[in-house]
Amino acid sequence: MLLFCSKAPLFIGCGPLSLAAQVDTKKMKISRIIAFAAAAAAVSALVGCAADFDKREESIKPIDANLWLYTGYLPYETRLYRAREYAAEQAVEFCRKQAKGSQPLEGTNNFRKEGGIDSKLVFRCVTYLPAPAQPFEDHSGGGR
């Protein structure tokens, strides 16, 4: 038996809850448990989907003294230009860690049968050139 305590102005004191009130309390507890279980299931499903979403396969391997090959698989990409831009961004980030710039030389992108895009990019890391001390002026005399 559950006790009901109230501090309302009209009724002050404790007394036993009616059977209908006890059933309502049990229903509320069960509905809260079901709502909590549903929320937990939704969160775990979202976390599981987020973990499955990023199945990228990426690597950067040296080809020569200063040539690098980026290979990557973007499983949920459908646009070739996005895969190309992503490969270029990865090359820039790789060279930036060496305080250099990226010079893309050759790249390919292909669709896979199961979906997604394979990307390959050959690039080199180059040092930045200093800015010219003075602006360029043409003194060849061949102008107008």
pLDDT tens-digit map of 96-128: 999 999 999 999 999 999 899 999 999 999 998
Same domain, 20 and 62: no
Neighbour-count burial for 114-126, b at 16+ CB within 10 Å, e otherwise: eebbebebbbbbe
What is the mean predicted confidence (pLDDT) over 11-32?
62
4 lies in a domain? no
142 lies in a domain? no
Containing domain of residue 73, as a range?
Answer: 57-126
pLDDT tens-digit map of 36-87: 777 777 766 665 555 555 688 899 999 988 899 999 999 999 999 999 999 9
- Domain of 109, CATH number, reads 3.30.30
Same domain, 88 and 39: no
Q: What is the pTM of this model?
A: 0.55
